[in-house]
Structure 1
Amino acid sequence: MDHKSSVRERVFGQLRKVAYADSRFHFDFGEFIADFQGSEQALERLVNHRFYQQAQVVFITPDNCLEMLRYRALQDGKRILMTTYSIKRGFWLLDPDTIAPERWLYAATLDGMERHGRPMTLAQIRDELPGVDYMVTGTGAINEDGVRFGKGHGFFDAEWGMLYRIGKITTETPAAAVVHDCQVLAETLYPEVFDTVVDAIFTPTRTIEVADPHKPTCGIVWDLLDPTMLATIPPLRELQRMEPQLPPL
């Protein structure tokens, strides 16, 4: 953890030079994933990549750098599954077929998604949605092998674990990270058993594809889960209640 903290400190110092401040969190990168100079070019690389082109249902995290991706996905007729407020407000579905086109841009924002999206329980996701085709996230730092260092809370790994456990994603489901070039590290990092290593990294200047990325198959490791996350995140408590009825891993 000390090594991770030192990596974040080093990267966040560089990121401050190119990031856009958040009106709520200023430059506190421990509280949000920032948008940054050149994110438009990074997103253009993503939407022209085969993973996005082949996807119909896309999970997109509520990160600042992905707001315009959510708008683009609605324009492209894709359904978006996302979470908000550190997963504490649960999963939401944005469906372009049920949102007026003139509201798509607002629906792509964190405030607008709750006005125009549909809240979904894990049971509803399991029973009503087809598989999620693509998982997209921002992150604090990442190396060229796709190992992420986020804000340190593990939200994306929890989202992967929940969706994997209810059968909506598999080890073949691609995952991607959108970051500034200064957030990409050359050093070797080692994922934990529950860490989701991405298949592709999109920066303003590069598309990095990762060979044989590690995808966790453990669901939620309850013994290692921060008790605060279980206490404050309703979907985790729902999954815990569902566990006895789910097939064994």
Structure 2
Amino acid sequence: MKTDWTGYHHDKDNLRNEIWSLLKQQAASVGDPFGHIPNFVGAELAAEKLASLSIWQQAKTIKCNPDSAQIPVRMRALQDGKRLYMAVPRLTDDRCFVELTAEDLQRQNVSIAESAIARKALTCGRLVSFAEMEPIDLVIVGCVAAGPGGGRTGKGAGFADLELAMLQEFGLVEIDTPIVTTVHPLQVVADSLLPMQAHDWALNWIVTAQEVIETNTSYPRPTGLNWDSLRSEQLEQIPILRKLNEPRRRLRRSRSPRVGREDGKKE
């Protein structure tokens, strides 16, 4: 199946289609998995297992993706009194994260269960810029496939890697901030099937309803935004990237040769 993001990496495209097909055949997805971070049977149990880990219990501030598969994770974070940051879907706002806390929701008389749904979170949460955010203790990302060595792929849009790179640029994610996913066991595949590129962020933990895998990944963590790997449509469609790129554009313009005047003298 072709999606909006098909065609950037042939092997990953094939792997995603295989996983989506497998989840559907095995009735392991909730709703149609194709083209999505798949919502999966056992997502609530995986969230419970994640909440039993010390990396979760020690975390005060959590960043989580907005997909349905991680609704139980977002709900548990708020129930446990953590500050939750959720990315605005497709990063369509300059302030590309929503901040949620149980206290704010209580003041608005909004239930935690409601606010864990991305659409509701966008209306009851507070849109924040990077400058307004607290350092993040734990990152949860959505995956279509994950490998026990830390390799991962989302649905192909590259949003998770972009978010993490920007958060690192602003000092909100550190070199040792744990990165976790919750998935169905069918989404855990051999490392050899998951080619990782320089801008890809690897997983430190994979949590399913049945088990917890600490990857002890050997993949190097990217250091901030890799401008060379950004696609032109990402710069066109994501406002915060255009804003962050502006100083670089000005610098390039200032370094370009200055245009001479008609009389041949330099300006």
Q: Per the shorter chain, which TM-score range? A: 0.7 to 0.9
The answer (yes or no) to whether the contact 2:151–2:191 under 8 Å persists in 1 is no
The answer (yes or no) to whether the contact 2:47–2:76 under 8 Å persists in 1 is no
Q: 2:112 aligns with which of 83, 104, 109?
A: 104
Higher mean displacement: 199-208 or 100-109 = 100-109
Query: TM-score normalized by structure 1?
Result: 0.88
The answer (yes or no) to whether the contact 1:122–1:235 under 8 Å persists in 2 is no
Higher mean displacement: 151-160 or 88-97 = 88-97
Equivalent position SS for 2:78? helix
Equivalent position SS for 1:177? strand
Q: Separation in 2 of the partners of 1:242 and 1:45? A: 44
Residue 247 of structure 1 corresponds to: none
Q: Separation in 1 of the partners of 2:33 and 2:246? A: 35
The answer (yes or no) to whether the contact 2:200–2:222 under 8 Å persists in 1 is no
Query: TM-score normalized by structure 2?
Result: 0.82
Equivalent position SS for 1:119? strand
Residue 89 of structure 2 corresponds to: 85
Q: Which runs of 5+ in 2 are unaligned?
A: 1-8, 250-267
For residues 10-51 of structure 1, the C-alpha deviation after alignment (integer angstroms, 9 at most, x for no partner) is 111111231111xxxxx2532x21211111111111010111
The Cα of 1:217 is off from its aligned counterpart by: 3.2
Higher mean displacement: 5-14 or 51-60 = 5-14
Equivalent position SS for 1:86? helix
Q: 2:50 aligns with which of 37, 46, 49?
A: 46
Residue 230 of structure 1 corresponds to: 235
Q: Separation in 1 of the partners of 2:63 and 2:14? A: 30
The Cα of 1:144 is off from its aligned counterpart by: 1.2
Q: 1:18 aligns with which of 28, 33, 46?
A: 28
Residue 254 of structure 2 corresponds to: none
Q: Separation in 2 of the partners of 1:211 and 1:97? A: 36
Residue 190 of structure 2 corresponds to: 186
Higher mean displacement: 200-209 or 107-116 = 107-116
Amino acid at match of 1:20: V
Residue 142 of structure 2 corresponds to: 138
For residues 133-153 of structure 1, the C-alpha deviation after alignment (integer angstroms, 9 at most, x for no partner) is 000012111111120011111
Change (3 A) 1:190 1:34: closer
Change (3 A) 1:221 1:49: same
In percent, how many aligned pairs have the same letter?
30
The answer (yes or no) to whether the contact 1:52–1:134 under 8 Å persists in 2 is yes
Q: 1:3 aligns with which of 3, 11, 23?
A: 11
Match status 1:94 vs 2:104: no
Residue 202 of structure 1 corresponds to: 207
Higher mean displacement: 163-172 or 217-226 = 217-226
Q: Separation in 1 of the partners of 2:64 and 2:131? A: 19
